[in-house]
Amino acid sequence: MPGALNHLKVLDFSRVFAGPWTAQMLADFGADVVKVEHVKGGDDVRRMGVPHLGADGEPTGETSSFLAMNRGKRSLALDLSKPEGQDIALRLVAEADVLIENFKTGTLARFGLDYQEVAKLNPRLVYCSITGFGQTGPMKHLPGYDPIFQAMSGLLSMTGIPDGQPGAGPALVGYSISDITAGQYAVSAILAALNHRDAVSGEGQFIDIALLDTQIHAASHMAMNYLSSGRLPRRNGTASQITCPWQAFDCADRPIMIAIGNDAQFSRFADYLGLPELAQDDRYATNLARVQNADTLIPQIAAKLATKQADACYAELEAIGIPAGPLNSFDDVFRMEQVQERGLLQEMQHGSAGLVRYVSNPVKFSGLDAGTDMPPPRFAEHTDAVLTGLGLDADQIAALRDAGIVK
């Protein structure tokens, strides 16, 4: 099946996580994405993550983080600091629909590649800038990585062990949530801008995405708790602060996550525990009451669940319509029949890494493809092909390579 965006050309000038994730999503949806990398080593994320091991157990030269963020792209190694490199970049811009960059604010202006300049060349271009703090405000010049935005957005005030318990304190979300969140916002914004261009204005526009902004917005239902009540969210371990019971409990062998979403579910759950009187108790009959009286309710639930085996408990709760699930490691995740049936784990051949297993795009269209079998590119793998597409011949490409403009 075709991809939804087969007609689009995307220039990915971004590095590390948020920008490359955005571009990979567009590649998964069919766009032709050219990843423009620095001639001296390329994207920093080529040196982040863990070494990808080949069939012999030895490092292949690729890293897990690069493989996770750059599927479906072509790699061009280009020196943007040189006029000849800038000329090549502008020739690519002239043909592009989308440009994605995440340099510090003002960096690309030094190379004549800021939006104000390139829009003169290609007024239909959708130009998406992803930075830590955005294009405005007193912090616009500052760099930043995911843990900075987890901390500054208030996220770490809500994650971790509650005060007064052993090990109390914040806990970093276990993946680069600020980057991935910003990337998802960027994808939505790019698609909206393309639709506006093609259906309304005929012109592209500049999109300003800030990791701090998007992480705050993504947590806005928790921020709304504060704005509505004046009470700050708190660290609560695995437990919800607005729904109860909604947390992990220890069974006799291992933990299980249980999430009771309404009062009818709680009534069935109380019956299952052999404590039907809980659902009739005014302290626990409604969700708001359960949240307010969690300190007395949770120990009663925990005592009952501690006598059960997790797998049996999970099956029994499933049978009566109570949402529950095991606390899986990735070993467990990829063995799940549900995950296998959904096709989330796929394989592709890579030029230097060999057979690579990866997590595929989760979107399912009825009449379009979402995903690509084109592996993440080796550094500068497509330089010749991209330049040939611009009309350069072999001698011109060789001269650029000898001058260090391309790799």
Q: How far is CA 319 from CA 59, 99, 323, in A?
A: 46, 50, 10
> What does each C-alpha distance from 378 to 63, 66, 174, 374 come to in angstroms?
11, 10, 27, 12
Active site residue 179: yes
Instruction: Give me the residues paired with residue 59 across strands.
Output: 53
Torsions phi, psi for 273 (to 5 deg): -75, -10
Q: Which position among 114, 179, 213, 393 bears the catalytic label? A: 179
**Residue 68 near residue 358 (C-beta atoms within 8 A):** yes
The H or E element spanning position 53 is strand 51-53
Report d(CA 213, CA 202) in Å as an integer: 28
Nearest to 265 by CA among 329, 324, 183, 340: 324
Cis peptide before 170 (omega within 30 of 0): no
Q: What share of the chain is helix, strand, coil (3-state, %, to 5)?
A: 40, 15, 40
Are residues 258 and 322 in contact, defined by beta-carbon separation less than 8 angstroms? yes
Cβ–Cβ < 8 Å for 156, 170: yes
299: left (phi over 0), alpha (psi -120 to 50) or beta: alpha
What is the per-residue burial (b if ≥16 Cβ within 10 Å, else e) of 71-88?
Answer: bbbbbbbbbbebeebbeb
Alpha helix (H) residue ranges in 197-274? 211-218, 220-229, 263-273
Q: Catalytic site residues?
A: 179
